Amino acid sequence: MKHNILKAFVTFAILFLATLWSELYGAEWYKGQLHCHSAWSDGNTLPELAVQWYKDNGYHFLALTDHSVLQLDSNKWKEVPQARIDESKKRFGDWVETKEEDGKTLVRLKPFAELAQKQNQDGKFVLIPAHEQNAGVAGFSLHGNAINITESITFPTDFPSVAAAALVWRQASLENSAKNGLEGFWMLNHPQWPYYDNSPEVLIEASDIEFYEHSTWAGPAKQQPQMPDVEKYWDVVNAFRLLAGNKPIYGVSSDDAVG
């Protein structure tokens, strides 16, 4: 009897795993980047070059999350390294616009609408409007990405805790998306950066936050020896959340690229 039960269980397990593998293998997967910067903020490359790099390297979607600004200004001119201008002109020709002013060569930064029109390809690649917001809250620095939004969002900072501020920031972002018929997305950025130390308690308290940047950039050990490593951080947050009957948090893999 026991042998038959074991045999039935093993058979069921094999069939279940085979079905799961078939579904996963047959699923359509998409690769994207939800945290990177361009010359619209502190990136050192032109936005069209940043977009083109991800497109050339097999990404299906991209959000340029420049600091505190959605790329909407169609008359934004900026001085950037000449090599970047030359690189862009080589790739995009006369689409790249420059002018001389006070002995400097300025280039017009392409706004989101023009970038999307140039780079989007049905079924292959889509650019998503987004920006990163960062500010000091309760003695700590809070960074979050507002994704699929229609305007630059100014987030308040007068809060007693990072958790309280993060929840309001998230809500403001999602409301902007919803009122414009979009599906919004918000995530807490790099909580373990040496200079942006959002402890696990932040994400335990702010249990409505569903996503955070699961990043090892710079590492916590040198500046914050008390901060758990990236895997333990995630385990601690989810353990306390689940014990309290709250939903888990999911990690987002991104590289916070500035070039």
For the stretch 23-57, pLDDT in tens is 555 678 899 999 999 999 999 899 999 999 999 99
The pLDDT tens digits of the residues spanning 146-202 come to 999 999 999 999 999 999 999 999 999 999 999 999 999 999 998 877 665 788 999
Whether 248 has a pLDDT exceeding 90, the answer reads yes
φ/ψ (deg, to 5) at 175: -65, -40
Sign of the alpha-carbon torsion through 44, 46, 48, 49: negative
* Distance separating alpha carbons of residues 150 and 237, to the nearest angstrom: 31
Question: pTM for this one?
Answer: 0.85
pLDDT at 90: 97
Residue corresponding to tokens 């579904």:
23
Does CATH number 3.20.20.140 belong to domain 30-74+110-252? yes
How is residue 231 written in tokens? 């895997």
- Residues in the chain, total: 259
8 A C-beta contact, residue 246 and residue 206: no
For residue range 92-119, list pLDDT tens digits in order: 999 999 999 999 999 999 999 999 999 9
The secondary structure of 12-37 as a DSSP string is HHHHHHHHHHHHHHHSPP--EE--B-
Domain boundaries, the chain: 1-29, 30-74+110-252
Per-residue 3-state assignment (H helix, E strand, C coil) for 194-232: CCEECCHHHHHHCCCCCEEECCCCCCCCCCCCCCCCHHH
- For residues 81 and 39, the answer to whether their CB atoms sit within 8 Å is no
